[in-house]
Structure 1
Amino acid sequence: MPMRWEPFLAAVRERGEYSSPEEAERAIRVVLALLGAHLVGGERAELAPRLPETCALVLLNPLPAHEPLSAERFVRATGAWIDGATDETAKWDVGAVLSVVADAAGEDLMNRVLLQLPPGYDLLFGRPRPGRPLE
């Protein structure tokens, strides 16, 4: 059952402490477009229907990625797409959106998604991996 748009937006807005729904929506669109470029095959196709339809469309129609971005570069790329963002605010945006995505995905799918991504994404999704060295 997909998460509905209003609760998804409200959760991102609360976690990101955004002052308006528009700010939260902008973060959602940018982060999901970048995430969609890094997920392929079954995991992306399985994640999409668990998200609101608007989010699923963004996830499934990403800009093509030329190479997988490290977690740090993913945050910087997010910041580059959001006017006035800094590395710190971009990290906040990414965490707010991806933690809600992780909640919608569930544990099993989230583990498979993280296997597709470079190290460090577990922290962006708010799902630190056991045994991961602290940086």
Structure 2
Amino acid sequence: IEVLDNEGRSALHWACLHEALDVVQVLLRYEASVNCQSLMWGTPLHCAILKKNREIAMALLQYGAAVNARDYVGNTPFNMAVHSSRKDIARLLLQYGAEVTIANDLDETPIAAAIESGDFAAVQAIAPLIRAD
């Protein structure tokens, strides 16, 4: 189950991309690497967020997925959830310790993505979580 394709994707990446929750659960039970990093897709959690699949994201998090892992452009799963306006997934990631201030390689933070997409509710939800140091 740890064989990778030429872009570093595992069976778990593919199961997430195809939204096959039953396959994801089997792979996790057989200890597939939940944090395997592919060249272009990030971790399986990034794939679940890309597909906007909360159930798969939750399964991965329950098996220890790194909530603040970065993909090839520096996006965390939280960055992706906010950018795609998936408040339910963003809240789930926050419950598992997502950091709200991590900027991607373009120096875009989750709150900047929310502002850019006009998602005022997301801005209101994220703003109180940002601490001034």
Higher helix share: 1
Higher relative contact order, structure no. (Cα contacts within 8 Å, ≥ 6 residues apart): 1
Bigger radius of gyration:
2
TM-score, with structure 1 as normaliser: 0.31
TM-score, with structure 2 as normaliser: 0.31
